[in-house]
Structure 1
Amino acid sequence: MDYIHVKDMEFYGYHGVLAAETEIGQRFRVSLSLAVDLQQASETDELEYTVNYAEVYMICKEIVEGKPYKLIEAVAGQIAKRILTIYEGQVKGLLVEMIKPDPPIPGHYREVSVELTRGEFR
C-alpha cells in the first residue's frame, strides 16, 4: 500500500467541553495519512490518479473551523468519515491524528491528541 501524508495542518476552532473553549476557541493541529494505490499516478503524472491534498486540507479546515464538537474524537471522526465518503474506492484507509496543543488542563505536557484509523491501514 502507498501513503499520502499531510502533517501538522493548523486551524482555529471552538471544540471542547469547557465553556471557555467554545467561547474563546483554540488552536488545533491535524495530521493525516491516507492509504492509496499510487502506482498509476506515479506512472502517468496525472492528478486524476491520486488524491488532491489541497482538497483534503480544505475538508479538514471546513470541519475543524466549522461546527463545534465537545470531543476531539468527534472532530477526527468527522474528518475520517468525510474523506472516506468523498474518495470512496480511492482511499482504502486512513489515520487521523487530532492534536490539541493547549488544552485547559493543569500539568506539564506538550499536547494531547487522539489518533484513529479507519479502513485498510497498515
Structure 2
Amino acid sequence: MGKIVLENIKLFGFHGCMTEEKYVGSYYTINIEVEFDFYQASINDDLSKTINYVDLYSIVKEEMSINAKLIEHLAQRIIKRIKKYQKSLIKYTKVKICKENPPLQGNVDRVCVILDD
C-alpha cells in the first residue's frame, strides 16, 4: 500500500455564502491524499499501474472552477471525482481545502475543512 500526495495546490476560486465572495473570490490551498496498492507500478515502472498525479491535479482544478457555497461541498465533489476516475485502485482518499484570508471579523490566516472517505 502507498499514497500519492499533492500538497499545497494553490488556486483561486469564487466559493462562499457571502455575496462578495461570489464576486471578489479568494485564494485556496488544497491538499489531497490517495491511498492504493502501487506495488506493480513500483516494480514495473509502468504508469498504467498507478494513478497519474497530473490527472488528480486536473480534477482539483476543474472542481475548483465550479462555484460552491460551502467548501465542504467542494471537498465532497473532489473526492467523488477522484473515486470515479480510479475506483478499482483507490482504498482511501483525503481532501483538505483551506480558504486563505477568510472574510471574518478577526485575524485568521485560513479556514480549512478536511474530508476523508
2:28 is matched with 28
Give deviations 1:56-94, integer Å, cap 9, x for gaps: 0011000002x2110000000000000001111111111
For 1:25, the aligned partner's letter is: G
SS in 2 for 1:84: helix
2:107 is matched with 108
1:78 is matched with 77
Residue 29 of structure 1: CA displacement? 1.2
Distance 1:10 1:79 in 2: 15
Residue 106 of structure 1: CA displacement? 1.7
2:89 is matched with 90
Matched, 1:18 2:18: yes
Q: Percent identity?
A: 32
For 1:7, the aligned partner's letter is: E
Distance 1:108 1:26 in 2: 16
For 2:20, the aligned partner's letter is: A
Please, what is the CA RMSD of the aligned residues?
A: 0.8
Distance 2:99 2:9 in 1: 12
- TM-score under structure 1 length normalisation: 0.92
SS in 2 for 1:27: strand
Residue 26 of structure 1: CA displacement? 1.0
Return 5+ residue gaps in structure 2 as ranges: none
Distance 1:25 1:36 in 2: 34
SS in 2 for 1:95: strand
Distance 1:110 1:15 in 2: 17
Distance 1:13 1:110 in 2: 17
Residue 22 of structure 1: CA displacement? 0.4
Return 5+ residue gaps in structure 1 as ranges: none
Please list every run of at least 4 consecutive aligned residues from structure 1 whose deviation after the TM superposition is greater than 3 angstroms: none
Residue 110 of structure 1: CA displacement? 2.3
1:60 is matched with 60
Residue 108 of structure 1: CA displacement? 1.9
